Copies of this chain bind each other. A is one copy, B any other.
C-alpha cells in the first residue's frame, strides 16, 4: 500500500533520538540542570549579530520580488559569484558563479552529489567513524556504502584497509574533516596520500574516482589547518553548509563546488542540476542566499567550542579516559571504559550523562560526546565522569 522502505526509514528511531528523548523525560523528573546531555550536535553559539542585521537590512531595503522571487535553479548568480570570490581569497582557487550550486545545507548537497554520480553497482567509500546518514543517503540513490575501519590512534585514514576496499566499482570517497564524530582533522599528509592513492587507482581502472568532501564543520578547527581538497585532488566535489559556521542549522543553506579541473566539468555540473531537480532541491531559500552573500568571508565565532573542547578533553583525561585530542567540529570520541560501548553508555545514564555509542558511527568501543552545550554544564559533569571511571576501576 505504501513504500515499506520509506515507512521503515521514517519510523525507526535513531539511537541519538532515543537518548535525547530519555534526557527530556529525566529532565522532567530531576530538573533540566541535572541532565548532562552530550547527545546532540546542535550549535549552541548564537547566530552572529551580523547575520541577523544582514537579514533585517535585506527585508527593509530590497524589493520583495528581488528577495523572495524564484532564483535560477543553481541559485542567484550574483550570490554565487560573491561566495566563489570569498572562497578564492581564502584558498587561492579560481572559482566563479558557474562553479557553485547553492543547496539547502550539506545534507542536500551530498545527496545531490550521490544522485548525480550514482550508476548501477556503484560503491561509495566512507571512513569510520562516519556520519550514519551516509548509509541511507547512498542507498537511496541505489549505491552501496563501503566502510573503511577506523584508525583509533589518531582517527586519520587507515590506508592499508582503504587500499583493499577500492575496486573498479568505487565511484567516490566521502571525506568529512573536521570529522563527526571523532573531532579529528585530516592532515595535509593524509590528504596528499589519499589523493595519490586515488590517482593511481583511477589510472589503473581507467576511470575517475571522485572525492565528495562533506564540510559542514570546516570553520570549526582549533589551531590546525584544514586542507582545501580541490587544491590537492582535481575530481573533488565540496559540500559546504552555513549551519555550523553561522549557527543557522534550521535555515538550510549551503552549496556544492564543482571545480574547473574536475573531469568533464559540464557533464558533472549538468548531472548535479538534474539530481537537484528530481530531488526538488532547486532554488535554495532565497532570503538566505542573499544573507550568505552579504556575510561571505565573515569569521565564525569558535571561542566557546574551543574552550569547551579543552575543558572536556582535560577533564576526561584527568578522569582516566583515553581520547584523541580534539582538532575540530564539536565532538570528542573517547574510548569507552568497556568493550561494549552500548553497555558503557547505558551505565553512564545512571549519572545522567547522555552519550552516544560509537557503534552507531561504525566504530565500536568508543562514544561520542558533543560539547556544543553550556560550558557550565560541562564543568559540572566532570566529577560525574570521574565517578563513572572510578566505578570501572573498583
Contact = CB atoms under 8 A, between A and B. Distances in A.
A11 B287 CA distance: 26
Interface residues of A, number: 74
Given A59-B52, A68-B251, A70-B250, A11 B274 contact: yes
Given A56-B60, A68-B248, A68-B249, A1 B207 contact: yes
Interface of chain A, main secondary structure: helix
Contacts of A64: 46-47, 52, 247
Contact of A69 (B8, B250, B263): B250
Interface string A29-69: 00000000000001110110000100110011001110111
A111 to B, nearest CB: 5
Contacts of A216: none
A269 B46 CA distance: 33
B287 A251 contact: yes
Contacts of A269: 10
A10 B65 contact: no
B65 A275 contact: no
A99 to B, nearest CB: 15
Given A208-B1, A271-B10, A280-B108, A65 B44 contact: yes
Contacts of A275: 3, 6, 9-10
Contacts of A70: 42, 249-250
Given A6-B278, A42-B69, A278-B6, A1 B263 contact: yes
B55 A59 contact: yes
A178 to B, nearest CB: 19
A56 B275 CA distance: 34
A285 B4 CA distance: 28
Contact of A136 (B47, B108, B116, B278): B278
A35 B248 CA distance: 41
A248 B283 CA distance: 12
Given A1-B264, A249-B70, A285-B285, A277 B9 contact: yes
